[in-house]
Chain A
Amino acid sequence: MAELARIYVRLVGGRARSQLEYRTSLALQIVATAFLTLLDFVMILVLFENVATLDGWTVQEVALLYGLAAISFAITDLVVGHLDLFPQMIRDGTFDQILVRPLPSLLQVAASDFSLRRLGKVAQGIGVLAVALVALDVDWTPGRILMIPLAIASGTLIYSGVWVALATIAFWIVDAIELVNSFTYGGNFLSGYPITIFGRWLRNLVLFVIPVAFVSYFPALSILDRPNELGLPEELRYLSPLVAVVTAIVALLVWENAVRHYRSAGG
């Protein structure tokens, strides 16, 4: 495991160094990425220009949801976000090269296109979360403070798991990557809002199937000391780490299984 981490850092480090050669371009890209990502939050601000609360949540509370989700998603995007390009690897056969190398295929795919400009997304998430934490009137306890890094770590694992598991669709339908975007980008978009505003089947989807409700909603309930309005057990708010580990394991199993059944297009 430590050996794999070392290899990953070396692979990614090389990519990072080459991008650092063009410092001005990189800086501009990071800033541009931050602003593009910030648009989702602008939507939230514009909504709150028109209403004081959204389903009983104030703008500061929604900003907390958004910040937690945005940071987790940004780190996920940094680590596995280029799975967007994975179908291309299947189409042009570069995935076959990966399979003959003596390293786990997922690790190689994850290290294939590390892009520092995605740090812009992380930065905007941290910015929004910082503003939210300052603006919120929370009675801070050690447990609630600890919940923040725990939520981000869990959220990153959940998003990564969802992304990896769904990207395997490309093994069967190469052109359907946008379907994955529904649940990755869509899941992230949804996590910026209290899940109570979504209809029953959407809520069940994010609770049980694509468990992004555990990225921001449940950790936020615990930080804000709010009861959940769904009539669900209150203990769910502490389960994010468990859900994250299970999601990651399921994703790895799905990936392994998909790779085992992969048949290259080439002769």
Chain B
Amino acid sequence: MRLDWELARRGYRRYAAYPWATAAGLFTNIFFGLLIASILLAVYEQREEVGGYDVADAMAYVWLAQGLLAVVASFGPSWSELALRVRSGDVATDLYRPVDLQRALFAQDVGRAGYQALWRAAPQFVLGALLYEITTPGSALRWLAFGLSVCIAIIVSFAVRFLVNLTAFWLLDYRGPQVLVLTVAHLLSGLIIPLSYFPEPFGDIARALPFAAMLQAPIDIYVDEPLGGSTLGVLLLQAFWAATLILAGRVVLAAGTRKLVVQGG
């Protein structure tokens, strides 16, 4: 546990070392937030609500999605870092270490997510809340459920990225699966538009998939529009995906390790 804590701190500090990159990223999030907010407001000129989202919900969506995308790493080096180590063979060193590879990487990712939550998600969400009229959860319990949902979203996101990286054990070109999963994830996580805007039944199907558990699920809980009307149901669904994908990661890593042949030495 102490080791996990130390790894998480290193994960945090790794991103804290580049404050200018954070500031630039924050600026980009806010800029895109303003653009998407303007577009959605044009929709609400004509509609009272879309897929359960009223205008205040939609504005909350904009600033939560822009904030959470850094927290759950919708972009970034963590999509290929391990894959590059597999390709170069450096992963052999990682496997030598007396720590579990998946657990160690997860601890670092928690540190990364914590940094992004504190310095990217929080400031731009506050700014969004000041500029626009947004939904706020009425009860402490809903805030708690939202927080829990974000935590599970980070686990699901980590598990997906871990699996994508592991394809490098079998494929020479890790970029293929990476681009494929990123494309699907951007569309189906609710990053570019709320999934409830999709025509039925696509919206509900998308909201039941693991990608929605990375981004749309916490937002749905925040604005009290969870899939099927049950916050607990969404949390359990997220937990199911988290457990399944983490387990899948362990199985695939074991298979990849068996296949790994270290040349030389």
Contacts and interface: CB of A to CB of B under 8 A. Distances in A.
Contact of A182 (B18, B31, B42, B198): B31
Given A33-B179, A182-B31, A55 B197 contact: no
Interface string B45-75: 1110011000000000000000000000000
A39 B211 CA distance: 15
Interface string B183-198: 1001100001100011
A43 B193 contact: yes
A40 B193 CA distance: 10
B46 to A, nearest CB: 5
Contact of B25 (A40, A54, A178, A189): A178
A182 B27 contact: yes
Chain B interface category by residue count: 35 or more
Chain A contact residues: over half helix, strand or loop, or mixed?
Answer: helix
B38 A199 contact: yes
Contacts of A40: 192
Contacts of A173: 20, 24
A28 B192 contact: no
A200 B198 CA distance: 30
Interface in A202-229: 202
Interface in A181-209: 181-183, 186, 189-190, 193, 197-199, 202
B176 interface: yes
Contacts of A54: 39, 42-43
Contacts of B46: 51-53
A186 B38 CA distance: 13
A60 interface: no
Contacts of A100: none
Given A50-B43, A51-B47, A189-B32, A179 B24 contact: yes
Contacts of A174: 20
A71 interface: no
Nearest to A57: B42
26 contacts: A25-B176, A29-B176, A32-B180, A32-B183, A39-B183, A39-B186, A40-B192, A43-B193, A47-B193, A47-B197, A49-B199, A52-B46, A53-B46, A54-B39, A54-B42, A173-B20, A175-B18, A176-B23, A176-B24, A177-B24, A179-B23, A181-B28, A182-B31, A182-B32, A190-B35, A197-B41
Interface of A: 25, 28-29, 32-33, 35-36, 39-40, 42-43, 46-47, 49-55, 173-179, 181-183, 186, 189-190, 193, 197-199, 202
Given A51-B43, A175-B24, A199-B38, 10 more contacts: A29-B176, A32-B176, A35-B183, A36-B183, A40-B192, A49-B199, A50-B47, A50-B51, A55-B45, A179-B27
Interface of B: 18, 20-21, 23-25, 27-28, 31-32, 34-35, 38-39, 41-43, 45-47, 50-51, 173, 175-176, 179-180, 182-183, 186-187, 192-193, 197-199
Can you list the 6 inter-chain pairs with the closest CB atoms, starting with the nearest?
A179-B24, A178-B24, A175-B20, A175-B21, A176-B24, A182-B31
